[in-house]
Amino acid sequence: MKSNFKVFLKGIIDVSPLMIPVVPFGLIFGVLAIDIGFTPIETMAMSLIIFGGASQIVLLQLFSGGASSLVIISSVGAVNSRHLLYGAVVSEHLSDLKLIWKIIISYFLIDQAFAISNEYLKKNKDNNRYFHLVGGGATCWVIWQSTTFLGIILGAAIPEKLGLSFAVPLTFLALLVNDFRKFINVIVIIISGLVATFGYNYIPFKAYVIVAAFAGLFTAMILTTKNKRI
Amino acid sequence: MSNWALILYCGLITYLTRFSMIALIKKEMFNDRIREILSFVPSAIFPAIIFPAIFINDKGLFEIDDNPKILAAIIAMVIGIFSRSIIATIFSGLASYWFLIFVV
């Protein structure tokens, strides 16, 4: 069994490629928040307390559009509801841990760390395998906080024309590279993408993410059952 | 509601989405069938973030003509399928996007 520190380090190394697009994402968030009228301390607090990139951008979008607090909070919840599924997936590997560890690890259960550690947790059965998730999450935490801070300072010096927001979908696309080779996954990807795109303006409270996810999972459920009968 | 209360509530609800399943689900609840379906979670969620970010513009409108993001995403996807590399996928996507908006 590897030492805790080595597993933690492995998490850091595995998640690093995914940190590249987090840099522009964090900058954009910092710049936007100040632009909309949040104070630097409030902006920093958002990254520290919420620690969820996509939902923080949604918060800004709705806030600047004058949405009510209730709409903003429920939208943030809807966008982040995908963590419920992440939690369900990783909980199997964390069930023997003390409550205090569950409380700490929950804070670090973000997209990138989940994507990377999900693979690791499936392949490893060591008792300390959860350190991988902590390593990945902590790395993302450092990058997210420091780029938010830089965004606050640099402000308008970053040209909007660069289209850095495109780095966000690219990150998630890169996380699916292995799934594009599997037939059922491709169908699930297409169904989820279509439901999200066409539901974007019609599903209330930005809940299109979770609606699309369940449409995708339902598709997977049907297709995998059929496969077995044949 | 003050900005601070808003931030705290958003943080609280976000944390609960992360913590609740980890706290509630027990190992015994898993079987191979559930594991199999849960293995599709990334494929089911990530496209819901990818597709709207590519096809829907800042104003919430569907945009398919004159949208360099579509071609850039396709290039990134093809590179990703062949290279299986996360870095190559991201860089090829950004590079082709910049090529399309600044050069072409």
Predicted complex ipTM = 0.87
Output the pLDDT for position A226: 65
- In eight-state DSSP terms, residue B62 is B
For the purposes of burial, counting CB atoms within 10 Å of the CB of A133, is it exposed (0-12), middle (13-18) or buried (19 or more)?
A: buried
pLDDT at A230: 46
Q: Which residues pair with B62 in a beta bridge?
A: B56
Are A109 and B18 an interchain contact pair (Cβ–Cβ within 8 Å)? yes
pLDDT attached to residue B5: 97
For residue B93, list chain A residues with Cβ-Cβ distance below 8 A: 166, 170, 173-174
Q: What is the pLDDT along chain A (230 residues), one digit of tens a residue?
A: 789 999 999 999 999 988 987 888 888 889 889 888 899 999 999 999 999 988 898 888 778 767 788 878 988 888 888 899 899 999 989 988 999 999 999 999 999 999 999 989 989 988 899 999 999 999 999 999 999 999 999 876 767 677 777 877 887 898 888 899 999 999 999 999 999 999 988 988 777 888 898 999 999 999 998 655 54
Of the partner residues A106, A197, A209, the one whose CB lies closest to the CB of residue B22: A106
Six token digits for residue A209: 């993410």
d(CA A94, CA A109): 12
- The reply to whether B51 touches chain A by the CB within 8 Å rule is yes
Q: Cα separation of A156 and A141, whole Å?
A: 24
Query: CB contact, 8 Å: B104 with chain A?
Result: no
Q: Is residue B48 within 8 angstroms of chain A, CB to CB? A: yes
Cβ(A76)–Cβ(A59) below 8 Å: yes
- The whole-angstrom distance between A77's CA and the closest CA on chain B is 6
Give the pLDDT mean for B31-56.
87
pLDDT digits over A98-123, tens only?
999 999 999 999 999 999 999 899 89
Contact A87, B18 (CB under 8 A): yes
Q: Name residue B56's beta-bridge partners.
A: B62
What is the Cα–Cα distance from A155 to A34, expressed in whole angstroms?
7
Supply B53's token pair: 């970010």
The 10s digit of each residue's pLDDT in A132-170 is 999 999 999 999 999 999 999 987 676 767 777 787 788
The C-alpha angle with vertex B50 and arms to B46 and B52, in degrees rounded to 5, equals 125
B21 in A contact zone (CB under 8 Å):
yes
d(CA B87, CA B2) in angstroms, rounded, equals: 41
Beta-carbon count within 10 A of B38 CB: 21
Q: The pTM is what?
A: 0.78
| C-alpha span between A91 and A203 (Å, rounded) | 29
pLDDT tens, B65-102? Answer: 889 999 999 999 999 999 988 888 988 998 999 999 99
What letter represents residue A100's amino acid?
I
